[in-house]
Structure 1
Amino acid sequence: PTSTPQEELPGYADALLAPKIFKDDCRIDWNLPAEEVHNFIRSLSPAPTAWTKLHRPGMESIVLKIYRTTVIEREPRHRGKFGTIIADKKTLDVMTRKGVVRILSLQMPGKKQVDAAAFLNGFTFSSDMYIE
């Protein structure tokens, strides 16, 4: 096949550059439906990486980078506000406006990327913590 310079392609003159992505553009909005949250995270992984804040009352909030997720419920069985954390020893789920997203891979500041089970081995959640 022969190559064609981009300048000679039809529509080249009308093409626009993609907008720059800033850090605030990568913040996860848990008020969106689970499918949209999941797709947003996928679109930013591995870089520039979607992020969220883990609020711990009485302590400083932690910024978490989220790399991989899956939608586990489109219609939630659990009741609660979006950003509510549902965690056990191996899984880390977050309620969205409509559905639940399971976090599979994440990173704390200054640490390496780990799967949710490894993160949960060294982190204890309390019922008053939430993600925003």
Structure 2
Amino acid sequence: DDTAGSLGGRMAVVGAPLLVESIQAYAADERAPVEQDHGRATYAPKITTDDARITWASSASEIRNKVRGLHPAPGAWTTLRGKRVKLLSVEPWTGPEATAGELAEHAGMLVAGTGRGLLRIAELQLEGKRATTGEEARRGLRLASDERFE
């Protein structure tokens, strides 16, 4: 259940001592630098705002992984009522079927339909607001029966 942020933090804890060890070995002439094979090098393109937008036709699993992979920055987002909503935490959910992007309440939870399966919206941040649980947002939004993430 790691996010990009939590994984980065764990990697820093493990990697920092290795970096110190490598620098010390290099400084003591115990290690020689090795140039990378530029022919095998790959480049990761910059993640754009459009890349971070959720496509609700994707499966619940794909959307969950996108949310985890883009948290905390730049953050996966969608829109509701014409305003941006950042999804901070989601999880697959079992319940009545819903169409892609359709919002519903199930067992007191805020859920959204996807191309395959449901997602519980555990935590989100409405544009200009603080982060909140999906349940708090559901109560505050007073969703109509046909509301959907766009």
TM interval, shorter chain, is 0.7 to 0.9
Moved more, 8-17 or 27-36: 8-17
1:115 Cα deviation from its structure 2 partner: 1.3
1:99 Cα deviation from its structure 2 partner: 0.4
Amino acid at match of 1:99: G
Of 87, 91, 113, the residue aligned with 1:70 is: 91
Counterpart-to-counterpart distance in 2, 1:79 and 1:18: 36
* 1:96 equivalenced with 2:114 (yes/no): yes
1:48 Cα deviation from its structure 2 partner: 0.4
SS of residue in 1 equivalent to 2:47: coil
CA contact (8 A) 1:89 1:117 kept: no
Over the matched positions of the two proteins, sequence identity in percent amounts to 31
Deviations 1:3-39 (A, max 9, x none): 169x625546632332101101100011011111111
**2:69 corresponds to:** 43
SS of residue in 1 equivalent to 2:141: coil
Structure 1 runs, 4 residues or longer, greater than 4 Å off: none
* Higher RCO (C-alpha 8 Å, min separation 6): 1
Counterpart-to-counterpart distance in 2, 1:48 and 1:83: 21
The number of residue pairs the alignment matches comes to 123
Instruction: Provide the alpha-carbon RMSD of the alignment.
Output: 2.3
* 1:117 equivalenced with 2:138 (yes/no): no
Larger Rg: 2
TM-score after normalising by structure 2: 0.71
Deviations 1:80-125 (A, max 9, x none): 4211111258411001111001111100111111111222232210
Could you list the runs of 5+ residues in structure 2 that have no partner in the other structure?
Answer: 1-17
Amino acid at match of 1:50: A
